[in-house]
Amino acid sequence: GPGAAAWGGPGWRLPGRVLELVFSYLELRELRSCALVCKLWHRVLHGDENSEVWRSLAARCLAEEALRTDILCNVPTYKGKVRAFHHAFSTNDCSRNVYIKKNGFTLHRNPIAQSTDGARTKIGFSEGRHAWEVWWEGPLGTVAVIGIATKRAAMQCQGYVALLGSDDQSWGWNLVDNNLLHNGEVNGSFPQCNNAPKYQIGERIRVILDMEDKTLAFERGYEFLGVAFRGLPKVCLYPAVSAVYGNTEVTLVYLGKPLDG
The vertex-153 CA angle with 28 and 252, nearest 5°, equals: 45
Name the more confident of 119 and 2. 119
Predicted local distance difference test score (pLDDT) of residue 194 = 75
**pLDDT at position 125, please?**
98
| Contact (Cβ atoms closer than 8 angstroms) between residue 128 and residue 212 | yes
Region 88-254: CATH code: 2.60.120.920
Cα(256)–Cα(76) distance, integer angstroms:
11
HSE-CB at 252 with a 13 A cutoff on CA atoms is 28
**Domain boundaries for CATH 2.60.120.920 within the chain:** 88-254
pLDDT digits (tens, 9 = 90+) for 138-155: 899 999 999 999 999 999
CA–CA distance, 248 with 161 (Å, rounded to integer): 16
Q: At what angle do helices 39-46 and 16-23 cross, to 10 degrees?
A: 70
- 3-class secondary structure per residue, 79-126: HHHHHHHHCCEEEEEECCCEEECCCCCEEEECCCCCEEEEEEECCCEC
- Model pLDDT, residue 2: 47
Region of poorest pLDDT, from 29-33, 106-110, 225-229? 29-33
Cβ neighbours around 228 below 10 Å, total: 22
pLDDT > 90 in the chain, percent:
77
If DSSP states are collapsed to H, E and C, what string results for 219-260?
A: EECCEEEEEEECCCCCCCEEEEEEECCCCCEEEEEEEECCCC
Mean pLDDT of the 35-42 span: 89
Provide mean pLDDT across the span 194-205.
89
Per-residue pLDDT for 198 more than 70?
yes
How much is the pLDDT for 218? 97
Percent of residues, the chain, with pLDDT higher than 70: 94
pTM here is 0.91
Q: Around Cβ 148, how many Cβ atoms within 10 Å?
A: 25
Label residue 12 by pLDDT band (50, 70, 90): low
* Per-residue model confidence (pLDDT) at position 193: 78
Average pLDDT, the chain: 92
